[in-house]
Structures are given as C-alpha cells and as structure tokens.
Structure 1
Amino acid sequence: MTCSYVTLWDLETGKNIATIKTNSSVRTCNFSYSAYQAAYTTDKAMGHPCEVFIIDTRTIDESMSTQSPILKWEITDSKVTSMVWGTLDETIITGHEAGDLIQWDLRTGKKVHSIKEHTHQINDMQLSRDGTMFITASKDQSAKLFDTSSLELLKEYKTERPVNSAALSPILDHVVLGGGQDAMEVTTTSTRQGKFDARFFHLVFEEEFGRVKGHFGPINSLAFHPDGKSYASGGEDGYVRVQSFDQSYFDYTFDYNRE
C-alpha cells in the first residue's frame, strides 16, 4: 500500500519535525510569506478528490502530524499542478493541468478570479523577490509573467519545447527557463541540439540573450540564489547543477535599440 504524506524538516539539522499523512499524492506545497501558514494540494486519485489544505505552522512540533487543517476545499476544475501564495497571506494562486490560473480567498476557500492564458499544463510557478509578480512555466512551450494581485498578463517568453520550470532573478531583469522533451521522446541528438539548455531571457523585452549547457535530459526545476550570483538546476539526468555567474554576466548590457 502506497503511503502519501507531507513532511516538515529542520534545515539546520536535517531532522524530521512532523509528517502529515494524506489520502493521495501531494502535488504542491508552499509556506506563506509570513511562514505562519503553509498550503499543500493533493491529486485526484484512489477515489479521493483533488484538494487544497491550509495548515497553521506557528507551532512547529510533532503535534502538527495530527492537527486538523485551518481550511480545506475540493477542486472541481482540472487538478492543481503548481501553486504560490498571493499578497499579505490572504490568497493563494493555483496553476492547473488544463492551463488555468485560479486565485482563492483564504477566508472562505472561494474562487476570486480565474484566467486561462496557457493552453497546456502549468508545471511551475515562482514569485518575484518582492512578491508583486510571478512567473509560470507550461507544457505549451512558454513561460509567462503575471501580476500577483490582478493576474494581469505582463510578459511572455516563447520557446520550442515544453517549459518545466522558470525563475526570476532577484537582482536583475532576467528570467531563466528550463525544460525539454518528455523522457520517452528524448534522443541522443537532443543534447547536441541544445534542447536541455537553461535559457536566459530579458524580463522586460522578452528576448533570449544566453544559454547554459550541462544537463543530459530535461531540466525539471530551477532556482536563483537569493543574492542573484548563482542558480541551481535539477534535471531528468539525476543531477543538480549549481552555476555561479562570472563577471561578464553582470557587465552585460542589453541592446535596447536592436530590431
């Protein structure tokens, strides 16, 4: 019998603080900005619906394993595949298998707003450093930048392959995208053709200005270091690569006048 759960870890010691059992696989989880709450979602499986759970994390000990959630609700739309917290810990925004983005009111668990700017599954969502914007990565071969409060579409970054992850630089107007073909479609020529490169775009002008090779399979996750001087990528090849930027990266000036 498969056991599904959410686990809370102490980063300094690696100790397992609490484990919350769930009825089906956990697809997403995230702390609120204040870290007083956390949210996680479960898949529709084994006769159980896709659900969103909000838990209190102010008292972090083994009692969390048996506490009831502050709030939970069932998802009747397509299943949740990604999620971020909205502003002031008052909302969460979920990305869905069908490409929808939905904003939820955490006082009631009711839908506030929804849009559909992607045509396929949203694989990843990450907030900007100040939380005013977030970026999505989708199987429709694009990443898109949205306003966190209004869900207004701000920018779009297009590629020729599914995008599995996208991250925003905390110090520069840069976006990094990663992805690649599904594992069953990968060929020996894919690496040579640059299908697994991390690709850098200008946040405002939406143009690609650089690529970094390294993985031998699709990139599944990306994250900038908080100081903006490096980034990490996790790939289907089983490796996590940490790349530090050299000075030329910081000296680079985007040509605003090129056509």
Structure 2
Amino acid sequence: VLDNEALLAATGAADFSAKVWDAITGQELQEFGHKHIVKSVEFSANRESLATAGMEGIVRVFDLTQGAVTTELHHDDKEKVTINKVVWGADGNTVMTGGSNGIVKVWDIRTNTGANEIKVDGLVMDVELSKSVGGQGDVLTVAAGKHVSMFDAGTFELLQSHEMPSCSFREEGGASLHPSGDKFIAGGGDCWVRVFDRQTGAELECHKGHHGPVRCLRYAPDGATYASGSEDGTIRLWETDPDEATA
C-alpha cells in the first residue's frame, strides 16, 4: 500500500513482518516483527502511523517517527479471528477491520476499545473507505460472503448490498467504489474482474486476463484507471472508460 503522497510503501508478508519502503528508490526503511502472517497494512493520513493486522487477530498501530508500537487492539471473541483488512477512519482516531468472524469492527485507538461494528453475511475479505463520494459523504465498501455492500461511513447505515452470483469472497477477492459513486469493481476466485452499477447491481463489464484468483482491486484517485492484483503474480491496470481515453 502507498501513502497519500506515493512517497512511502508498506507491505505485510508471510514472513511475519511489516515493512516500510521508499517508494521511489525501493530502499527498505523500517521493519516491524509480528508473531504470525501480516495480511493488511495501511498508513494514516498524516503518514506518521502504520496500522497492521493479520492471522494473529491483533491490530497494531506503529509510530513511524519512533519506530515503535503504540497501540494493540484485541478481539474479545473466544474463537480465533483472522483479520483480512484494516483501514483508517476518516478522523484519524479510529481504525476499521474486517475478518473471519463476519464483522466489520470500528476501533477507537484513543481508548483501545471497540466503538461500533457491522455484521455482514460471511467472511470479510475487503474493506474500503471512500471519502467525499460524488462530492457527498464518505462510503464504506465491504466485500464479504457473496455480497458487496456499501455503508454510510458516518452512521454505518446500509446504503446498497448486491449479491455477486459470479464471484464470491470465501478465500480471496475484493471490491472498490468509483470516486463518482456510480459504479464499483469486484473480483474473486473466478479470475475475472467485473464492473457493476452501484444502484442496481447490474453487471456492466467483464474483463478476462488473470490466470489466478483476484486478490485485490482499487480505483485510482481520479477514477480514470483501476488496478487488480492476482495470485498469478501480476498486477494489471485497466482504463475505466477506454473509448474516452482514445477519443
């Protein structure tokens, strides 16, 4: 994942580490050890903190200026929870997680407690916070079970939820909302990348190219392109409106 200025990159890996890199030179800047696989990392908006989560079921917040962990957030569940995604809240005082217990949880890092939660229909594979969607409010997009759902990021009210008959999020996959708010992309185990209408859930486009399950998808900030990453070891870039790009 890149920071907001695309100057730093962070990775989480199966070697039980999270690392921060210079995105321009590729030089490793910091490494943070964990006790299990790190599945998700994200920079805070001010680039001073890094949130990590994964197979341990623990959310950690690292102060990048000090190189040390400042916060650890633990689930109360008796069964082990794998966290597949961690994202920062818009206010910088909260983080949101989604994982194997089918819950999107909001944590207040000032008090180290859960502030809210959303129950969805299955294993959560992806959570995305989109700010000022279509010039309006912030939207939380969640890929879980067989659905892609959008929630108001302030009230957590369900806005839309669409079943994905052609792809599911049992073990992989994700979704991303276009900055305009009128459509979203989704992909998973069937190796294809699809574009859907946000309001109706109708499939608008289907793109083939990957030779392995799709693990992640994201629109560029301007919405002109989007990227997809797959287990086939490739990252593919797609034009949102190729006809307009060549006109």
Q: Is 2:145 aligned against 1:133?
A: no
1:219 paired residue number? 214
Distance 1:215 1:249, change over 3 A: farther
- Structure 2 residue matching 1:87: 3-state secondary structure: coil
SS of 1:162's partner is: coil
Change (3 A) 1:112 1:214: same
**Structure with the bigger percentage of strand:** 2
Q: 2:151 aligns with which of 139, 146, 150?
A: 146
Which aligned pairs between 1:180-259 and structure 2 lie closer than 5 A? 180=189, 195-248=190-243
Deviation at 1:223, TM superposition (A): 1.4
Amino acid at match of 2:222: D
1:39 aligns with 2:51: yes
**CA 1:156–1:10 in structure 2 vs 1: closer, same or farther (change >3 Å)?**
same
CA distance in 2, matches of 1:154, 1:245: 23
Distance 1:178 1:108, change over 3 A: same
Q: Aligned runs of 1:43-122 on 2, under 5 Å?
A: 43-44=55-56, 50-57=57-64, 59=65, 64=67, 67=68, 69-77=69-77, 78-118=81-121, 120-122=122-124
Q: Which one has the largest radius of gyration?
A: 1
User: Where does structure 2 lack aligned partners over 5 or more consecutive residues?
Assistant: 1-13
Distance 1:29 1:82 in 2: 8
Residue in 1 that maps onto 2:182:
173
Displacement of 1:244 in angstroms is 2.1
Judging changes above 3 Å, is the alpha-carbon distance between structure 1 residues 73 and 128 closer, same or farther for their aligned structure 2 residues? closer
Q: Identify unmatched segments of 5+ residues in structure 1.
A: 45-49, 181-194, 251-259
CA deviation vs aligned residue, 1:98-126 (integer Å, no higher than 9, x gap)? 211111111111111122122x2111111
Post-superposition CA distance 1:233-258 (Å, at most 9, x none): 112222221122445468xxxxxxxx
Query: What is the TM-score with the length of structure 2 in the denominator?
Result: 0.81
- 2:229 maps to a residue whose letter is G
Equivalent-residue separation in structure 2 for 1:156 and 1:199 (angstroms) = 16
Letter in 2 for 1:11: A
Please report the RMSD computed on the Cα atoms of aligned residues, expressed in angstroms. 2.1
- Specify which of 9, 14, 17 is matched with residue 29 of structure 2: 17
Give TM-score scaled by structure 1 length: 0.78
Aligned residues: 221
Tell me the distance in 1 between the aligned counterparts of 2:159 and 2:103. Answer: 16
Give 1:18's aligned amino acid: Q
